[in-house]
Amino acid sequence: MAACLVRRCCWRHLGAFLSTPSSVPVSLLVPAGKVVTARALPQASVTLLHTSSPSSWADGFSIKEQVEDSGNPEHKVMGGLIETATSPQELFQFCELHDLNSNQASLIITQLSRLAAERKLETESILQDERFQQLISITDSQISQVWNNALVNLLKSLYSLGMESSKREMQSVEQEVLWRLRRLTFRQLASLAEFLAIKQGKENKLLSEVIKKLELRWTELEGTRTVVTLMGKVGPISPTLMDRLEDKALELAEQFNPDDIRKIMLALAYQNRRCIPLLRALSYHLIQKHPELSLNILMDLIFAYGKLNFHQPQVFQKIATDLHPHVATMTPIELTRCIRSFALLKWLSLPLFEAIAQYAVDNSEQLSVTHLCSIILSFARLNFQPSGSEDFFNMFHEEFQGQLDNLEPHVLIDLVWSLCVLQQAKAPYLQRVLAPNFYARIQEDQSLKAQHLQLKLLHINATARLESPGYKGPFLPTEMLSSLEPTGDKVTLLQSSLQEALAGLLGSQDNGRFNIRTIYGWHM
């Protein structure tokens, strides 16, 4: 009831304020940001006020703040001068020439922070300046009179300038923000949460309180930009909020542009969240509404799909088709990132991979050993043989002459194993990994990763014995072939059902052999 009474008084005050002589320019009556050059009439003024919906106050100004900001021409001019200042000294002059209030002092500090960030200025000299201390003193003495929007910007600015959290003035601003959280708009809360998540980390007490408010007020969430920002920056800190954001993103899926979809996909990928309905909706709108995608978006999308292991053949075909014209202009890093993602998804696009193979042949001097390893491993995972395989593998063998000793053991094993899959493993590669002094180091390691490497060594040894007629040795010792322990692979429902069916067909499990681990590294 009291709130209603206050609102009525405000509107009556505004009505009296707007009934000014027609000689007053409307630009002094409407909220900041509205440009009107005609002379004001009482009726026009009231119309302008009533047509300003709450959405026009999305920057967080309350009704009182809007009136105070627009009703004082001197304050408005002062604010414009502060925002257009181009140097810290120009801003500090306001302290010497004007009697500032707390909102103007907050605006100057915010502008100082912006200039320091844009021009990479030394913040320590700004913090130590006596005039800056005067600004801090003004805001501290009148902290309760600082508008909500100015207060949020003030806190972010002090963090950006590197002001110590132990300072009393800093703690005063933090405490004031904490007290006003319920009065902040959702957009202000989202902006503050994004900033704190980046600058202060998830252990920040204020961030925890802001996230709690966001979780409680999530129904106020609107606009694609806010959803995308929160998913990327704040979502990893609060799984509860992330659940709400996914629901909202699903509701707004049709409104996202390609860059929004890219950011959401990356946010889901980095957090390993496979929200199937959302992924399907984003994939659908990506195909239906966005015919042309930039290279960066294509690269990030295929990475996200690979990270989440989410298969959408139509999307993959579109990405592969759109990437094909870009292959010739890609950097080696972009090329290897792209090919690894497709390999992870086990999705083979022949035109794209043929173009990648030709790129490797034409630009071999630009490709490092690491880049070539990534290409070979990806080709092997997809069992892809380029049409010009002779030129491609001749280039590869030439580049790797004398380079094997420089590779890490696990990289070398993966490389030789891939060459075995592609039927390109020559004697020098086999001899390097099957040498006693090499596999002994792998055998001593008891980690799960080492067990997988030992399994690949068994595969390489089998290739050396069965598929390399000219190879004379060395080979793995017999005791190593039978000593490899199971790697803990789970028996799938299909495997167990098949074994039961075979046992029933044979009459008894004693009439057949199951789960045989061969000396060649293959589990039958």
Judge whether 314 lies within some domain: no
The pLDDT value recorded for residue 72 is: 60
The pLDDT value recorded for residue 214 is: 94
- Whether 64 has a pLDDT exceeding 70, the answer reads no
The pLDDT value recorded for residue 441 is: 84
Judge whether 103 lies within some domain: yes
Of 145, 180, 215, the one marking the end of a domain is 180
Segments in 363-475 forming alpha helices (H): 369-382, 389-399, 409-421, 427-434, 436-444, 448-466
Judge whether 384 lies within some domain: no
pLDDT (average), residues 10-34? 38
- Whether 45 has a pLDDT exceeding 50, the answer reads no
The pLDDT value recorded for residue 27 is: 36
CB atoms within 10 A of CB 276: 9
For residue 86, the enclosing domain spans 80-180
Q: Report pLDDT digits (tens) over 337-347.
A: 999 999 999 99
The pLDDT value recorded for residue 487 is: 56
Instruction: Say how far apart CA 362 and CA 121 lie, in whole Å.
Output: 45
CA 475 to chain centre: 47
In angstroms, what is the C-alpha Rg of the chain? 33
449 and 465 Cβ atoms separated by less than 8 Å: no
Give the DSSP H or E segment for 489: none
Judge whether 207 lies within some domain: no
The pLDDT value recorded for residue 522 is: 75
Characterize 393-404 residue by residue with b for buried, 16 or more Cβ atoms within 10 angstroms of its Cβ, and e for exposed: bebbeebbeeeb
- Whether 514 has a pLDDT exceeding 80, the answer reads no
> Above pLDDT 70, what percent of the chain?
84
Q: Report pLDDT digits (tens) over 460-513.
A: 999 999 998 888 889 888 877 776 655 556 778 888 888 888 888 888 777 888
Q: Which two tokens stand for residue 308?
A: 């989440």
pLDDT (average), residues 53-79? 50
Higher pLDDT, 85 or 34: 85
The pLDDT value recorded for residue 33 is: 39
What confidence category does residue 166 fall into, taking pLDDT thresholds of 50, 70 and 90?
A: confident
Q: Quote the mean pLDDT of the chain.
A: 82
Instruction: Say how far apart CA 220 and CA 186 lie, in whole Å.
Output: 7
Q: Report pLDDT digits (tens) over 122-160.
A: 888 888 888 889 899 999 898 998 999 999 999 999 999
The pLDDT value recorded for residue 65 is: 52
The pLDDT value recorded for residue 24 is: 38
Judge whether 478 lies within some domain: no
Judge whether 35 lies within some domain: no
Higher pLDDT, 62 or 231: 231
The pLDDT value recorded for residue 521 is: 76
Task: Please provide residue 322's backbone torsions phi and psi, each rounded to the nearest 5 degrees.
Answer: -75, -30
Judge whether 134 lies within some domain: yes
Q: What is the DSSP string of 85-99?
A: --SHHHHHHHHHHS-
Of 180, 201, 218, the one marking the end of a domain is 180
Beta strands in 269-407 (DSSP E): none
Higher pLDDT, 67 or 232: 232
pLDDT (average), residues 23-43? 37
**CB neighbour list of residue 439: distance below 8 Å, 6 or more residues apart:** 433, 454, 457, 476, 480
Q: Which two tokens stand for residue 115?
A: 């200039």
pLDDT (average), residues 436-445? 84
> Domain total for the chain?
2
Q: Which two tokens stand for residue 255?
A: 């409104």
Of 180, 197, 222, the one marking the end of a domain is 180
CB atoms within 10 A of CB 297: 21
SS3 content of the chain, % helix, strand, coil (to 5): 70, 0, 30
Judge whether 306 lies within some domain: no
